[in-house]
Structure 1
Amino acid sequence: MARDAQTVREPLEIKQQKRGDLVAEAIKRLITEGNLLPGDRLPREVELQQMFAVSKSTIREALKSLEVQGLIKVSTGPSGGGMVVEVPLERTFQLMQNYLFFKEVSIDDIYTVRQLLEPELAAGAVPHLTEADFDALEHNMACCSPASHDRRELLRQRQADMDFHDILAAANPNSFLRFTCELVNEMIRQLIVFGNETPRREHEKFGTANVDIHRQITDAARAGDAQRVRELMHLHMQEARTYIKRMNGKLRGRLILDSDIVDMQQRVRSQLGTNGVRAPAGEGKRVAKPTTTRVATSATSATKAVGKSAAKPKATGTKAVGAMAKTKADAKTDTKTEAATKAAPARKRRTVSS
């Protein structure tokens, strides 16, 4: 009886990765081991074909996959190809939304995280704030002061309040803390809305309270008092949570479209006027090492890894990825023909300046 059950049982199907996915992983490895930075170019399509022994369509599929992930930008034409880019915060925000789509997240949840992280973010930024940063903070407070009686304008100002926190984030050298806080700030900017029944005076009170506490935080930061900044930011997070709940704030839906994010950014830029650009603290020192040998080695190891991961090829069609390791010598030759990669400028993130 047991024997019959074993006979009836179907064998487990082991799914194999597509060639395009394997090549995409290999190109990621090339970027990492070659220490490529935003602005650096990948080898041309024909060279990637030779490097990985696959067809043009497979290379294009891999490049498209990396472009969708936000890791590269692909251009067409004789001088086209893939260029490494910094993954934009907006793309990361979209992916986070997808993850949270089936999870219950409340305003209280968001502000619990903010109350833990924002005080440390602000305190850590204090020693690194420049005069340009203080000018941007002053400009933000001037723009967000609730002088208008237009309800829509008041709402835009509350969204622009978040830029104050982004300016502080850009000055903090802890890239992981900065990234986490910026994501939370983007959630608040995009997702929290207030009911039409909320009186205008409540918006004005909230705006006045925000500007007042931002003023105290800025003054303490100018004095170099990181502990005072930490305490004030903790108080600010408590007040903000109270105001939002009192104003019947709620999360609108669970997904925001790309077009909505672009529109929001344009409105904030218009509200704040000119834009300044500052490289986040601690990132300006990173310089690419344009060593051709390193890139060649990276390409070879990437080819090896793809070869090991690939399944046995079929008899027909394009050469399978499993044969990629055989192109080891070709990979080195092809890569050496590439000009040494130039160091890209330090990664920049938008902040606000006066």
Structure 2
Amino acid sequence: MTTAPQGSVSPELFRPTQPRRAFDEVIKQIRQLVDSGQLKPGDRLPSERVLAEQLSVSRNSLREALRMLEISGVITLRRGTNGGAFIARPTTAAMAAHLTAGLRLADFSLENLTDAMRTMGGNALASAIPKLTADDLDELDRHIARAEALMGEEHRTERVYELTEFYRRLAQATENPILVVLMDALLDILRQVLPMLHTDGHGFAIEARKRLLNDLRRGDSAAARRELDEHLIDLHARWLRDNDPEVIVTTGLFTKEE
């Protein structure tokens, strides 16, 4: 293996990705290297050019994957002469990753996932409402706008990230680190399940978030909580309607990987 400068990571750690799932594969590889300890807090990833070549992905796909990893708290992106992508210090995201890893030992159904989302989402929203600031509401609006700008099927993975980050922002607004960790773990599961499910676009999810945000801006907490719960019930009904029964019974998500 080529020797990398101290504090830097050799590009040979990374494998070429599967072309159809390049975005997912970049995120998956970096997360696995962090979980295994091969990437440690403070490590600097190879340059964008070198990493894109090693992973066999376009630089645009790599940039999107790195941005989502930054949003999830796995890496930090720094600008300037000494900038680049660095593995983040342990945060709530790291704690959530341990919870997610524990769930790999459990079987669960889509009904279990929906129930968990209704419980966690409802509690996070109820706790966040008294503390939401104008900046929080504007950030929720930006997540909606970014998701709406990614409506093409080729942007499905990026769109799912933006839609699910809406929930994470609500959890952050609670100012309760335990709720943030639990929400992060749940969203990690959701993001792995959603690509396995057929959903007829996400226009309905975007419109539901717009209505929820309008309720929050009006200060109508009861309507906001009702909107969130009704949306999750509707989402589950769409899953049942549009997917194979085998997928509904068990996600198959946590079988041992090759």
TM-score, with length taken from structure 1:
0.42
**Distance apart, 1:146 and its partner CA:** 6.9
User: What pairs with 1:99-114 in structure 2 (closer than 5 Å)?
Assistant: 99-114=102-117
Once the two structures are superposed, what CA deviation does each residue of 1:237-258 show, in whole Å capped at 9, x if it has no partner? Answer: 211222233332843531799x
Q: Is the 8 A contact 1:124 1:226 kept in 2?
A: no
Match of 1:160 in 2: 162
User: What pairs with 1:101-250 in structure 2 (closer than 5 Å)?
Assistant: 101-145=104-148, 148=151, 150-194=152-196, 198=198, 202-204=199-201, 207-248=202-243, 250=247
Question: In structure 2, do the counterparts of structure 1 residues 97 and 173 end up closer, same or farther at CA, with 3 Å as the change threshold?
Answer: closer
In 1, Cα distance between the equivalents of 2:133 and 2:158? Answer: 27
In 2, Cα distance between the equivalents of 1:247 and 1:91? Answer: 34
User: What pairs with 1:183-332 in structure 2 (closer than 5 Å)?
Assistant: 183-194=185-196, 198=198, 202-204=199-201, 207-248=202-243, 250=247, 251=251, 253-254=253-254
Q: Is the 8 A contact 1:114 1:184 kept in 2?
A: yes
In 2, Cα distance between the equivalents of 1:159 and 1:73? Answer: 23
In 1, Cα distance between the equivalents of 2:93 and 2:137? Answer: 25
**Distance apart, 1:104 and its partner CA:** 1.0
Letter aligned with residue 254 of structure 2: R
Moved over 6 A (4+): none
Question: In structure 2, do the counterparts of structure 1 residues 193 and 252 end up closer, same or farther at CA, with 3 Å as the change threshold?
Answer: farther
User: Matched residues, percent identical?
Assistant: 15
TM-score, with length taken from structure 2:
0.56
Once the two structures are superposed, what CA deviation does each residue of 1:92-121 show, in whole Å capped at 9, x if it has no partner? Answer: 344234323332122211111111221121
Structure 1: gaps of 5 or more residues: 1-66, 76-84, 258-354
Question: In structure 2, do the counterparts of structure 1 residues 174 and 91 end up closer, same or farther at CA, with 3 Å as the change threshold?
Answer: closer
Question: In structure 2, do the counterparts of structure 1 residues 104 and 127 end up closer, same or farther at CA, with 3 Å as the change threshold?
Answer: same
Question: In structure 2, do the counterparts of structure 1 residues 184 and 74 end up closer, same or farther at CA, with 3 Å as the change threshold?
Answer: closer
Question: In structure 2, do the counterparts of structure 1 residues 94 and 166 end up closer, same or farther at CA, with 3 Å as the change threshold?
Answer: closer
More helix per residue: 1 or 2? 2
Which of the residues 98, 102, 123 maps onto 2:101?
98
Letter aligned with residue 234 of structure 1: D
Q: Higher RCO, 1 or 2 (CA under 8 Å, sep at least 6)?
A: 1
Aligned-CA RMSD value: 3.2
Tell me the SS of whatever aligns to 1:203. Answer: coil
